[in-house]
Amino acid sequence: SYVLTQPLSVSVAPGKTASITCGGTRIGGKSVHWYQQKPGQAPLLVISYDTDRPSGIPERFSGSNSVSTATLTISRVEAGDEADYYCQVWDSTTDHVVFGGGTKLTVL
Partner 1 sequence: EGQLVEVGGGLVKPGGSLGLSCAASGFIFRNAWMSWVRQAPGKGLEWVGRIKSTTEGGTTNYAAPVKGRFTISRDDSKNTLYLQMSSLRIEDTGVYYCTSSLDGDSDAYDVWGQGTMVTVSS
Query: Quick one: which of 12, 20, 81, 86 contacts partner 1 (CB under 8 A)?
Result: 86
**79 φ, ψ to 5°?**
-60, -35
Which part of the chain contacts partner 1 (CB under 8 A), choosing from 11-19, 32-40, 63-71, 75-83?
32-40
- Candidates 45, 53, 69, 75; binder of partner 1 (CB under 8 A) is 45
d(CA 83, CA 64): 20
Choices 13-21, 44-52, 65-73, 75-83; region in contact with partner 1 by CB under 8 A: 44-52
Q: Is 49 helix (H, G, I), strand (E, B) or coil?
A: coil
Q: What is the dihedral of CA 12, 32, 59, 38, to 10 degrees?
A: -50
User: Does 3 engage in binding with partner 1 (CB under 8 A)?
Assistant: no
Do residues 28 and 66 lie in contact, with contact meaning Cβ atoms separated by under 8 Å?
yes
Check binding of 23 to partner 1 (CB under 8 A): no
Beta-bridge mates of residue 37: 84
Chain residues binding partner 1 by CB under 8 A are 1, 31, 33, 35, 37, 42-45, 48-49, 54, 84, 86, 88, 90, 95-102
